[in-house]
Amino acid sequence: MTGTQMMGFIYQGPGVPAELGALPKPEAGPGEVVLRVGANTVCGTDLRILRGEKTKGVALGVVLGHEVAGHVAQVGEGVTDFAEGDLVSLPPSVNCGVCGSCRRGYEHLCENAHLVGYDINGGLAEYMLIPKQAVARKQLVKADASLDPAQLALAEPLSCCLNGMDNYRVEVGDTVVILGAGPIGLLHLQLAQMAGARTVVVSDPSESRRRAAESLGADNLVDPTAADLKSAVLDLTDGEGADVAVLCIGRPQLVNDALNVVRKRGRVSIFAGLAGEGWSEIAANLIHYRELTVVGASNSGRQSFLRAVRLIESGQIDTKSLITHSFPLQRAAEAIEFVASGEGIKVAVRPD
């Protein structure tokens, strides 16, 4: 490999194993920035792409990875907000700014978005080019240089959780049930606490993940394979049910579980994406007669991302303890498959 090349983890097509290969090292053109990747944390979406379960919008030959942070290696002509060595991260969606969703302020739902790790080369590489449009639209965010890049990479999922909570709301004194104690569930747990929840219940079959939730302050832990979640929640709420339930595991059968644990006029977030078309057979009368509010959450915009970075910088949200395993870039495929094992919490791929 020459000095003008780098290594990257390249998507080969649906169901075809991605490969680590040599690519041209990017150079910053006018308005662009080149990032030396410090860490790319692995998401369940990466696993679904790698296994051929998620193909829409993923370009053949793209470098995978969208939860990325690193240091500025080069700035292009006209870039004045960043300098070599700055620690930075960015949300993965580069939005058009002119479609109906963008005009209404929902840029994270842009109809013409280009996505890092989908059709823009992502963070599972030694270097990454930040497009001119992303730089111009102030998507690149500078962070405290003392942060571990892996901590900062989690600004992406945290920003998605912030967007989700803006939809489902947590009010002071609420009881919140979180289904799933993976990294997303543990972020929602911390946000619920920050918002003033009186009680946060976390349900997960994994003992190690329940212990992680406990260490982050969960008030009640439920093993759904050994206890009935609905009964446990009703016992805690004088038979009324929780104010909020957040589904953080993409399993269709759990949608009804979330609907069943909230009170009348309770709020349910279907935060996790489900496989394929995401079909789930639900008890719609629960929504009808109990006047439930059911909301979704997808992606995040610039403001949510900026909030996420500042929360991580301040230490108000702990992302450091969520990083339980690290792999070198040469073992990126192994790192992504490791997510399916359920061991640990969050996996980081560190090119260095």
Q: What is the pLDDT of residue 330?
A: 96
Task: Give yes or no: residues 65 and 141 share one domain.
Answer: yes
Q: Is residue 305 part of a domain?
A: no
Instruction: Please tell me whether residues 68 and 194 are part of one structural domain.
Output: no
Measure the CA–CA gap between 62 and 27, rounded to whole angstroms: 17
Q: Give the pLDDT score at 3.
A: 60
pTM over 0.75? The answer is yes
Domain annotation covers residue 313: no
Buried b (16+ CB within 10 A) or exposed e, 185-203: bbbbbbbbbeeebebbbbb
Q: Is 312 contained in some domain?
A: no
Give just the sign of the alpha carbon dihedral 120, 26, 155, 51: positive
- What are the backbone angles phi and psi of residue 245, rounded to the nearest 5°? -130, 135
Q: Are strands 141-142 and 175-179 parallel, antiparallel or unpaired?
A: unpaired
Type of residue numbered 295: V
Tell me the torsion sign for CA atoms 10, 14, 16, 17. Answer: positive
pLDDT value at residue 10: 96
CATH number at residue 263: 3.40.50.720
126 and 173, same domain (yes or no): no
For residues 150 and 12, state if they share a domain: yes
Residues 110 and 210 in one domain: no
* Lookup: tokens for 317: 């949200």
User: Do 23 and 144 fall within a single domain?
Assistant: yes
Instruction: Please tell me whether residues 45 and 112 are part of one structural domain.
Output: yes
**What do you get for the CA distance between the two ends of the chain, in Å?**
16
Q: Do residues 256 and 327 both lie within one domain?
A: no
Residues 178 and 150 in one domain: no
pLDDT at res. 276: 76
Q: How many domains does the chain have?
A: 2
Instruction: Note the pLDDT of residue 52.
Output: 81
Q: What is the mean pLDDT for each group of 10 consecutive residues in the chain (352 residues)? A: 82 88 96 98 89 86 97 97 97 93 93 94 98 95 96 98 97 98 97 98 96 97 97 98 96 95 98 84 94 95 96 97 96 91 91 87
pLDDT of residue 1: 47
Q: What is the pLDDT at residue 170? A: 98
Of 190, 175, 250, which is closest to residue 220 (Cα–Cα)?
A: 175
Q: Is residue 180 part of a domain?
A: yes
Q: Which two tokens stand for residue 142?
A: 């500078």
Q: What is the pLDDT of residues 119-135, one digit of tens each?
A: 999 999 999 999 999 99
**CATH number, domain with residue 62:** 3.90.180.10
In a domain, 160, yes or no: no
Domain of residue 15: give its range: 5-154+319-350
Q: CB neighbours of 106 closer than 8 A, spacing ≥ 6? A: 301
- Based on the fold, state whether residues 62 and 179 are members of the same structural domain: no
